[in-house]
Structure 1
Amino acid sequence: MQKLSYLFSVIFLVFFLSACGQQQSQLKPVEINGKTMGTTYNIKVFPGPIALEADRFKKEVDETLIAVNQSMSTYIPDSEINRFNRLDANTVMPISGDFRTVVAESIRLGESTKTLDVTMGPLIDLWGFGPDKRPTKRPLQSEIEAMQANIGVNKLQLTSEGLAKTLPHLELSFSATAKGYGIDKVAELIEKKGFSNYMVEIGGELRISGSKPEGAPWRIAIEKPDAPAGQRQIHRVVEPGNNAIATSGDYRIFYEMDGEVFTHLIDPGTGKPVRHDLVSVTVLHPSAMTADGLATALTVMGTQRARAYAEEHNLPVYLISKTDAGLETFSSTAFEPYLDVKK
């Protein structure tokens, strides 16, 4: 769906482990899957005493995700986001409730973190990580500064009447928040139907609730960032409870130019790709949209800033840094209860 959604997410290894000594329940989950937002989705619901007809449920899920896509995809010419991107400066555009929710949270996260900016798509394109062909030389400092002058969530004006921008060429891209919002909308659909035991996954980001049969908890694996090329290995297992779980990392998307390695993550403050040792950030939050945005923002911050931000805001965050001595990890105080001691 989004312009850069494939860049900002790290696919989880999701697996389901039964507690020792427990018998398998005869209750089978309703499982559906499909395609959305340029990736795939997988949903598992344990219906309990209430029946859930799979075909009808899939139709409702698809309709829900199509509506989110129609609102927030930059690939759909007449989408809500593209209509806003073509809007003249200082013109208020009425927006849908879904769009308002995502833009409001994106602005809040941008102002709080200073490292998540939903207007910086053109800056990312300048460095070669957008849909355009990557450059054969690094951008000039003057080009970076000119681009920085034309981005920023402070140039958005969200009011009760709608959304406006103060610069004519300002553009939005919800690559770090819209996919998570799609997960939240599907979870909302499931809960409205009266189900509380489920897993929703889109493109590697997850939201889970309740438990599996016999009360077995959902257990999720965080991927090992230094696994050999072409292999997927488990680094750590967590039990997220009723939360979304999102991971962002810079160890898969990068290129080398002039003897330097550039990651896909851009710091809006400097206008340049980040260069630090933080390679993976996992965030837990009740909202998949917020978890998704925070994972990206914290990765851009680097280890020390991310640690301080997580503790200051009491966020469940797990960091993996790559140093000369090997991988170093950090669990925020709020994350500790979710770690599975059995690994």
Structure 2
Amino acid sequence: MTKKNICKIVLSALLLTGCSSNAASAASASTSAEAYKNTNLDAGIFDTTYAYQEAPKTDESAAHYQSSLTELKEYSDLYDIYNNYDGINNLKTINDNAGIQPVKVDQKIIDMLKLAKQFYVYSDGEFDITMGAVLKIWHTYRESGIKLNEQGQNAPIPSQEELDAVKSESGWDKVIIDEDASTVYITDAAVSLDVGGIAKGYATEQVAADLEKQDISGGYVNVGRNIRLLGAKADGSQWRIGITNPGSSTGDSLVALDVEPSYSVVTSGDYERYYTGTDGNRYSHIIDPQTLFPATYYHSVTIIADDSGVADCLSTTLFTMSVADGKKALAAYEAASGKKVSAVWIMDPDKAQNETGKTEGSYFVTYTDDIKDDLIWY
């Protein structure tokens, strides 16, 4: 991750804590003097930053922060598909044993995989963590491409033929989750799991829920734009959270909204973890399972929900769908769960398809009907 992207993530946290001059921060400024705040830019957690706040500040606040950091690191290690850790069977262990044997794993892995499988159903297959073979190709090109871009060079992109060759190396029918034995087994050696679209949000939700069990409130955990509020604000006012302007180099907000206590706001965007190809186009990290190339509908999709894992799945899923299809996926989840979810899409004006919305600066913003009166425009 580049320093530019790290700064953007940190600034998104500051919008909540009164460290910016815009309206989003002004709503929270009254609590800043009594709040405990801490930010870690390099904790080895999901390859991103971690920002924490609770209010009022107490003698235990620093310990709360440290325990949450430790717990997040545990989840990050368990869900890592690239690195091994002593004494841990993680996602990489599962992938390494594909076609060989079942792997005994922590319940935290099984619970996360079960949620991912549910969203495969809700999205009619659009959210698919079994596409590891395709995503691995893109990861390799992207990591190399970022380095070349930093040297002032555009970088190669994979061919359609290269991607099509591994498209069939996926499918939940090749993944066996045995809860009684606490094992996960991928039956096909060519198949692998990539949980980048759920792991960070799922872990954020679990850590936040554990903090709230200790009656910690008046703050948030923010794991790389996966924001989970901890209860209500100390002064009783509503939380106001800004959604980043995709064209801003400093993380300024394009629009903001008031959010209920203990809710999550998760954004998937094309302005982080991308590289520029030899054709001059930008290639982001969110891959459309239909084309096998990065999705190009939007610059960002933001989900507001009462669960950060759910919001992470949905922001990734909706990024690869039209607005109309995205609303169908939201409806499928709402029908199954009985819970309401809201969404905000930011796109180029020429990508709009007659949706209700507003042109703001260089972008068109559309949203679910339930929040149209709750948006604050800059």
- Tell me the TM-score normalised to structure 1 length: 0.83
Cα deviation for residue 32 of structure 1 reads 3.0
Structure 2 residue corresponding to 1:76, chosen from 74, 83, 86: 83
State the identity %.
Answer: 21
| Aligned: 1:247 with 2:267 | yes
**Distance of aligned partners of 1:90 and 1:225 in 2 relative to their CA distance in 1, 3 Å threshold:** same
Indicate the larger mover: 168-177 or 324-333.
324-333
Partner residue, 2:210: 189
1:40-189 matches, within 5 Å, as: 40-47=49-56, 51-78=58-85, 79=88, 80-89=90-99, 91-113=101-123, 114-127=125-138, 132-134=143-145, 137-160=156-179, 161=181, 162-189=183-210
Pairing 1:331–2:367 present: yes
CA distance 1:198–1:15, shift in 2 (3 Å): closer
2:185 and 2:80 map into 1 onto residues whose CA distance is 18
Unaligned 5+ runs, structure 2:
18-24, 146-153, 335-340, 351-358
Q: What is the CA distance between 1:206 and its match in structure 2?
A: 0.3
Aligned pair partner of 2:46 in 37, 59, 83: 37
Cα pair distance change 1:217/1:129, threshold 3 Å: farther
Q: Distance in 1 between matches of 2:26 and 2:349?
A: 35
Q: Residues 10 and 205 (structure 1 numbering): CA distance in 2 closer, same or farther, change over 3 Å? A: farther
**Which digits, 9 at most, give the CA deviation of each residue in 1:142-178, with x for residues without a partner?**
4222211112334222232321112113222221211
Gap change, CA 1:250 and 1:59, over 3 Å in 2: closer
Q: Distance in 2 between matches of 1:103 and 1:93?
A: 14
Contact 1:224 1:235 in 2 (8 A): yes
Counterpart AA for 1:327: Y
CA distance in 1, matches of 2:281, 2:375: 38
* Alpha-carbon distance in 2 for matches of 1:264, 1:87: 26
How many angstroms does 1:185 deviate by? 2.5
What corresponds to 2:20 in structure 1?
none
Give the secondary-structure state (helix, strand or coil) at the position aligned to 1:147.
coil
In 1, Cα distance between equivalents of 2:243 and 2:143: 31
> Closer, same or farther in 2 for the Cα pair 1:294/1:10, shift >3 Å?
farther
CA contact (8 A) 1:279 1:322 kept: yes
Residues 1:124 and 1:198: Cα distance change in structure 2 (over 3 Å): same
Q: Which amino acid aligns with 1:303?
A: V
Displacement of 1:97 in angstroms is 1.5
TM-score by length of 2: 0.76
The structural deviation recorded for 1:220 is: 0.6
Task: Identify which of 197, 202, 227 aligns with 1:206.
Answer: 227
CA distance, structure 1, for counterparts of residue 329 and residue 287 of structure 2 = 18
Aligned-partner Cα distance in 2 for 1:341–1:239? 8
Which letter maps to 1:186?
V
Give per-residue Cα distances to partners, 1:169-218, cap 9 Å, x unaligned. 32222212111122112212211212233211111220013332321221
Any idea what SS the aligned residue of 1:196 has?
A: coil
Quick check: 237-246 or 124-133, which moved more?
Answer: 124-133
Which of 301, 321, 339 does residue 347 from structure 2 map onto?
A: 321
Please tell me the residue identity of whatever aligns with 1:332. T
> C-alpha separation between the residues in 1 aligned to 2:107 and 2:202?
12
> Are 1:244 and 1:288, in contact at CA under 8 Å, matched by a contact in 2?
yes
Deviation at residue 141 of structure 1 after TM alignment: 3.8
TM-aligned CA deviation for residue 136 of structure 1: 5.7
RMSD of equivalent CA atoms: 3.2
1:272 to 274, 286, 293: 293
Q: 2:68 is matched by which residue type in structure 1? A: V
- Which stretch of the first structure deviates more once superposed, 308-317 or 212-221? 308-317
The CA distance in 1 between the partners of 2:258 and 2:140, in whole Å, is 33
Write the distance in 1 (CA, Å) between the matches of 2:343 and 2:227: 15
